A and B are shown apart, each in its own frame.
Chain A
Amino acid sequence: MSAITRDEVAHLARLSRLALTDDELDHYATQLDAIIESVAKVAEVAAEDVPPSSHALPLTNVFRADEVRQSLTPEQALSGAPAVEDDRFRVPRILGEEA
């Protein structure tokens, strides 16, 4: 049995905002299946009472003072934008509502 189906890969592509062709979906399904099967080895480590590590080091409480720092100019901010209008980033029409 495969670890991941082609439909699941199509779902992942949608979630990841990747417009993949049918051929690509087939290709990635095969590869991801092999990779997932391999990485599933993590389950072999008995780690029930082990706390998960989200970070490499156990640092806590790193903050900055509430001080204003120089922002970019609008020219700098917009310099890489594919499209600009009225000092704003122009983007294609937005379909869904805000989450």
Chain B
Amino acid sequence: MTTTKMSYDEALDRFEPVLGLETHVELGTASKMFCGCRTMFGAPPNTQVCPTCLALPGSLPVANAQAIESTIRIGLALNCSIAEWCRFARKNYFYPDMPKNYQISQYDEPLCFDGYIDVEVDGETVRIEIERVHLEEDTGKSTHVGGATGRIHGADYSIVDYNRAGIPLVEIVTKPIPGADRLAPEVARAYVTELREIMRSLGVSDVRMEEGSLRCDVNVSLMPRGSSEWGTRTETKNVNSLRSVERAVRSEIERQGAVLADGGRIVQETRHFHEDTGTTTSGRSKEEAQDYRYFPEPDLVPIAPDPAWVAELKAALPELPSVKRKRLQAEWGLSDLDMQAMHNADAIDLVEATVAAGAPAADARKWWMGELARRANESGTALAELPITPAHIARVTELVASGALNDKLAREVLEGVLNGEGTPDEVVDKRGLKIVNDEGELSAIIDEVLAANADAAEKVRSGKIAAVGALVGGVMKASRGKADAARARVLILEKLGVSE
């Protein structure tokens, strides 16, 4: 295990990276891939298991129609061809969290193949080619007990929960991606981000990386500049956040660069990514390669999707995120930079929903990307997790537009909603946040302020109109912010007999 590293820039000066990404997406079906057990995340151990997903003797699998459909939709969204006829295959290897000691997967006959998606990085469009999209089943989960670290090495024994075993898993494999060059880490991240959004728009998975419903293996190899022969690749597992995807690629480029620069050679192996250090460590060497003895799964019959049905699924695909972003950007008249910022903040859907609820795009964007983004950032939650809805924001913008609220009051209303004090209208009522636009009341406040600030009033009367600001400020203070400042200014000037 080497920890020597080369700086990223130095590595990139000498070598060119080739990427590959294998992404596993847990489908959000109600039941498992081959049995009727629930797929709820976080259920008590071994409560979502049956003879089939525990591999009890005699049990048999039956494929989940929804999972097949979702996989085909994913393939179509990724511009893949859909197999006319394909089979499941058994991948044979012994491992305690895999109940049958074979995984039902697909081998040389994936359901979807030969697709692509385009991602944008730094204003450039990069086409990522998709090798295959296939359907398989997830494994159970082991907890390692004893030993110092709680990790697999040095553990005394393990305990296994099979709730996750048999949850449908879609594997999306890219073709090798050369040419990303210095942007390789960003390209990898942008690709996974795009995949995640496509899954969301298709509604096939909740794609929560922190819950493992989207998992990524990152393949990296380096070749010397000027060479056209790809180097030996490593496969880094456990890459479970967007940031980690980027870091893992960077770290592996730095590590491999150092090894190669020292005249060493890269071993084809599985590596593990560690969130804490941002580095990878060696796992099992693939040179003592497993012989998985794939063969067609005899317990399941071949899949032959009806082309007419596939065409229907294709026609019914939702607008894909990249297309939608372009459309919204045009509709909202935003710059690339603004749009990118909203994309990075996961704000696009929220703004869209807010606009749909009646708010002008500029206002919707202002609130989500300003006040609310700040709040989310402070509390360390995602924008979408804030306890406020697009409809709330739309109502607040409406109140501002009608003059019932000003910006300051609107912020107070939002705070009230975030505190759980109710809808914007309820917060306005409870906190008494309406602008004072009763002329009589306002007039009375102005009279008080003028009386108390005779000097300033005199300056204004004598033509120093700029001094009116202090008087307006006094009115705002006296009204505790509820006065309409513009109206107050007009009334003050009127009372002082000054015109602009």
- For B34, give the chain A residue with the smallest CB separation: A64
Q: A66-B66, A97-B283 are in contact. Are A87 and B45 (CB under 8 A)?
A: yes
Alpha-carbon gap, A55 to B93, bound state (A): 22
Instruction: Please name all residues of chain A whose beta carbon is closer than 8 Å to the beta carbon of B295 when the two chains form the complex.
Output: 54
Quick check: which of B49-57, B113-121, B356-364 contacts chain A, the rest being far away?
A: B49-57
Label chain A's interface by main secondary structure.
loop
Quick check: which of A1-9, A21-29, A37-45, A70-78 contacts chain B, the rest being far away?
A: A70-78
In the assembled complex, how far is the CB of residue A65 from the closest CB belonging to chain B, in whole angstroms?
Answer: 6
B67 A66 Cβ-Cβ under 8 A? yes
Label chain B's interface by main secondary structure.
loop
What number of B residues sit within 8 Å (CB to CB) of A? 61
Alpha-carbon gap, A73 to B305, bound state (A): 36
Q: A89-B162, A99-B95 are in contact. Are A64 and B85 (CB under 8 A)?
A: no
Chain A 80-93: CB-based contact to B (< 8 A → 1; otherwise 0): 10000111111111
Q: A63-B62, A65-B65, A93-B155 are in contact. Are A72 and B49 (CB under 8 A)?
A: yes
Within 8 Å of chain A (Cβ to Cβ): is B496?
A: no
Of residues 142 through 173 on chain B, the ones whose CB sits less than 8 Å from some CB of chain A are 142-145, 152, 155-162
A91 B160 Cβ-Cβ under 8 A? yes
Within 8 Å of chain A (Cβ to Cβ): is B96?
A: yes
Alpha-carbon gap, A80 to B59, bound state (A): 15
Q: A54-B298, A94-B155 are in contact. Are A66 and B162 (CB under 8 A)?
A: no
In the assembled complex, how far is the CB of residue A52 from the closest CB belonging to chain B, in whole angstroms?
Answer: 8
B31 A88 Cβ-Cβ under 8 A? no
Of residues 303 through 324 on chain B, the ones whose CB sits less than 8 Å from some CB of chain A are 303-305
Alpha-carbon gap, A59 to B304, bound state (A): 10
Within 8 Å of chain A (Cβ to Cβ): is B124?
A: no
B156 A77 Cβ-Cβ under 8 A? no
A72 B51 Cβ-Cβ under 8 A? yes
In the assembled complex, how far is the CB of residue A94 from the closest CB belonging to chain B, in whole angstroms?
Answer: 5
Within 8 Å of chain A (Cβ to Cβ): is B392?
A: no
Within 8 Å of chain A (Cβ to Cβ): is B46?
A: yes
Instruction: Please name all residues of chain B whose beta carbon is closer than 8 Å to the beta carbon of A88 when the two chains form the complex.
Output: 45-46, 143, 159-161
Alpha-carbon gap, A59 to B67, bound state (A): 19
Name 25 interchain pairs, CB-CB below 8 A, sorted by A. Answer: A15-B291, A55-B301, A61-B304, A63-B62, A64-B36, A66-B64, A69-B36, A70-B36, A71-B38, A71-B50, A72-B54, A73-B47, A74-B47, A77-B54, A78-B46, A86-B159, A87-B44, A88-B45, A89-B162, A90-B160, A94-B155, A96-B284, A99-B95, A99-B284, A99-B290
Known interface pairs A17-B94, A69-B31, A91-B142; 20 further A-B residue pairs with C-beta atoms within 8 A, sorted by A's residue number: A55-B298, A60-B304, A61-B302, A64-B62, A64-B64, A65-B66, A68-B30, A68-B37, A69-B36, A71-B49, A73-B47, A74-B46, A86-B159, A89-B161, A91-B157, A91-B160, A93-B144, A93-B157, A98-B95, A99-B290
